[in-house]
C-alpha cells in the first residue's frame, strides 16, 4: 500500500540521516583526539586526483582518512563488514569535459545502487546515499 511504502521510505531515510550524523561525529571525535570504541566499524576514503578507470574496474581509494575495524582494504578497494549491523555508504561522482562517470555499489557481487554524472561541457556530478543491512555468518 501507499502508506506502507511511505513508512518504509521514511524509516530508511531516518536511518541514513542518523548514520551520517554518527559518521560525522566519529570523524570530529578523531579530529579532537577522543577514543573510538573497539567495536566501531567505519571508513572514510577518497580518490585524491582525477582518475580514468576502465569499465568494470574496482575503485581503490588512494587516501584513507579513517578505517575503524579495518574493514576497508586499501590494496583491493573492497570493504568487508566485520560486524553485523546497518552500514550507510555515501558516494559522489564527478565527470569533467565531455565525460561520463557511472559508479556502482556492489554487495556480494550484486549491484545495489549507482551514481551517474555526464556532461557535454564542463562538469556534472551525481551522488547517492544508501543503507545496507548486513548480517555476519
Q: Do 131 and 110 fall within a single domain?
A: yes
Q: Do 89 and 136 fall within a single domain?
A: yes
Asked whether the whole model's pTM tops 0.75, one would answer: no
Alpha helix (H) residue ranges in 1-137: 2-31
Residue 59 is part of which domain span? 38-78
Q: Do 46 and 22 fall within a single domain?
A: no
Q: Do 108 and 89 fall within a single domain?
A: yes
What would the pLDDT profile of 67-82 be if each residue is shown by its tens digit? 888 999 999 988 888 8
Q: Do 63 and 96 fall within a single domain?
A: no
Q: Do 31 and 43 fall within a single domain?
A: no
Q: Do 89 and 64 fall within a single domain?
A: no
CB 92, CB 127: distance < 8 Å: yes
What would the pLDDT profile of 20-77 be if each residue is shown by its tens digit? 666 666 666 666 676 766 777 888 888 888 777 888 888 898 888 888 889 999 999 8
Q: Do 89 and 70 fall within a single domain?
A: no
Tally of domains within the chain: 3
CB 118, CB 126: distance < 8 Å: no
Q: Do 22 and 64 fall within a single domain?
A: no
E strand or H helix at 73: strand 72-73
Q: Do 22 and 61 fall within a single domain?
A: no
Q: Which of 67-71, 83-87, 93-97 ranks highest by mean pLDDT? A: 67-71
Q: Do 28 and 46 fall within a single domain?
A: no
Which pairs from 103-107 meet CB under 8 Å and 24+ separation? 103/59, 105/130, 107/132, 107/134
Burial class (CB in 10 A: 0-12, 13-18, 19+), 72: buried
Burial class (CB in 10 A: 0-12, 13-18, 19+), 28: exposed
Q: Do 31 and 59 fall within a single domain?
A: no
> Per the structure block, which three cell numbers stand in for 65?
582518512
Amino acid at each position: 500500500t501507499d502508506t506502507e511504502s511511505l513508512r518504509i521510505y521514511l524509516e530508511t531515510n531516518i536511518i541514513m540521516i542518523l548514520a551520517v550524523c554518527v559518521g560525522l561525529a566519529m570523524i570530529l571525535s578523531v579530529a579532537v583526539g577522543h577514543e573510538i570504541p573497539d567495536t566501531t566499524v567505519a571508513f572514510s576514503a577518497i580518490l585524491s586526483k582525477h582518475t580514468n578507470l576502465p569499465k568494470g574496474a574496482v575503485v581503490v581509494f588512494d587516501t584513507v582518512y579513517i578505517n575503524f575495524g579495518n574493514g576497508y582494504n586499501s590494496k583491493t578497494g573492497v570493504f568487508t563488514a566485520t560486524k553485523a549491523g546497518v552500514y550507510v555508504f555515501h558516494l559522489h561522482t564527478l565527470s569533467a569535459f565531455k565525460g561520463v562517470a557511472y559508479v556502482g555499489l556492489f554487495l556480494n557481487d550484486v549491484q545495489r545502487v549507482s551514481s551517474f554524472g555526464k556532461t557535454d561541457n564542463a562538469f556534472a556530478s551525481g551522488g547517492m546515499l544508501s543503507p545496507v543491512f548486513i548480517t555476519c555468518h
